[in-house]
Amino acid sequence: MGMTVDALALRARTTTRNIRNYQSLGLLPPPSLVGRVGYYDEGHLGRLRLIARLQEQGFALAGIRELVQAWEQGRSLGDLLGFEQALTEPWNLEEPEYLTAQELLDLFPQAAQDVSLGLRAVELGLIEPEGERFRVPSPTMLRAGAELVAAGIPLAATQDEFAALRGDLERVAARFVELFERYVWQPFVTAGMPPERLPQVTEALRRMRPQAATAVQAMLAQAMEHQSAACTNGQVKLISEDGPALNQEVQ
């Protein structure tokens, strides 16, 4: 059906007051009414995120309104909506799953002896309590952790690594965003955000999304190969150096 104004404000990280202000200024289309309740859709969310991004670039609300109106007049509405969709569509297409407490304990038996491990999983966002079940935002991530635990790595260490990995990838993501900002978005803004260039900006954003993930995956594969080879070479060297002494002890 859509989102209420409160739900929209939560997802857009703004306030209901701002949303109503944007509507009064003509920046945000009105919601669809069902009875006396207004419902908003993903297009409204995209528009709010676009407004926030333009404000970060230094645009006043009056200027943003003129810009949106100019875009809608200079290009088809589809061009503008296409950009908003590319800007706001989710990067993670993974569907969440729901597990019971017992199902989670079956995957992570150590949590049965240490309640703090379950609490930390909630703090890290790996699981989210919902009634009598737990929502798992990323089943892939959860099962990767279960595989590490099954291989003999303590759950606490696995959680530490997840937290560290999240920090590392936040910095990687920030660098990709900075590339887009510097070489695509900022030149577009400097040029006065001409409507005829909007499809090019949208296409650059769409192409960057899968390429960022592909580059990270390929680089990780190379790094794992390098680290595995270094570890193997180190073990071979250690055995080689200790070989004579070990032979003498055996004799």
Q: In this predicted structure, which of 2-6, 141-145, 236-240 has the lowest mean pLDDT?
A: 236-240
Over pLDDT 90: what percentage of the chain?
32
What pLDDT is attached to residue 194? 78
- pLDDT surpasses 70 at 86: no
pLDDT tier, 122 (very low <50, low <70, confident <90, very high otherwise):
very high
CB-CB contact of 149 with 117 (8 Å): no
CB-CB contact of 155 with 110 (8 Å): yes
- pLDDT surpasses 70 at 104: yes
pTM above 0.75, yes or no: no
pLDDT tier, 110 (very low <50, low <70, confident <90, very high otherwise):
very high
- pLDDT surpasses 60 at 83: yes
List, edge to edge, every strand of the sheet that includes 133-136: 97-100, 133-136, 128-130
């709010």: which residue's tokens? 48
What pLDDT is attached to residue 249? 44
Reduced to 3 states (helix: H, G, I; strand: E, B; else coil), residue 98 is strand
Amino acid residing at 195: P
Q: Which of 15-24, 52-61, 183-192 has maximum average pLDDT?
A: 15-24
Nearest CA-CA partner of 243 in 228, 229, 235, 233: 235
What pLDDT is attached to residue 251? 43
Higher pLDDT, 5 or 53: 5
Q: In this predicted structure, which of 88-92, 111-115, 144-148 has the lowest mean pLDDT?
A: 88-92
The CA-atom distances, in angstroms, between 99 and each of 38, 128, 130, 132 are 33, 10, 10, 9
Q: What is the mean pLDDT of residues 66-89?
A: 62
Beta bridge partners of 192: none
Tokens (6 digits) for 139: 């089943």
Rg (CA), the chain: 25
> Which residues neighbour 127 within 8 Å (Cβ) at sequence distance 6 or greater?
99, 104, 118, 121, 134, 135, 136, 142
Q: In this predicted structure, which of 81-90, 108-117, 137-146, 219-228 has the lowest mean pLDDT?
A: 81-90
CB-CB contact of 5 with 40 (8 Å): yes
* Separation between Cα atoms, residue 177 and residue 187, nearest integer Å: 14
| β pairing state of 32-34 and 128-130 | unpaired
Reduced to 3 states (helix: H, G, I; strand: E, B; else coil), residue 167 is helix
Higher pLDDT, 90 or 30: 30
- pLDDT surpasses 50 at 92: yes
For helices 16-24 and 5-12, angle between their N-to-C axes, nearest 10 degrees: 100
CA angle 211, 212, 213 (to 5 degrees): 90
What pLDDT is attached to residue 241? 58
CA angle 11, 16, 18 (to 5 degrees): 100
H-helix or E-strand spanning residue 100: strand 97-100
- pLDDT surpasses 80 at 109: yes
Q: In this predicted structure, which of 1-10, 73-82, 96-105, 129-138 has the lowest mean pLDDT?
A: 73-82
**Each residue of 129-177: pLDDT tens digit?**
988 899 998 999 999 999 999 999 999 999 999 999 988 888 888 888 7
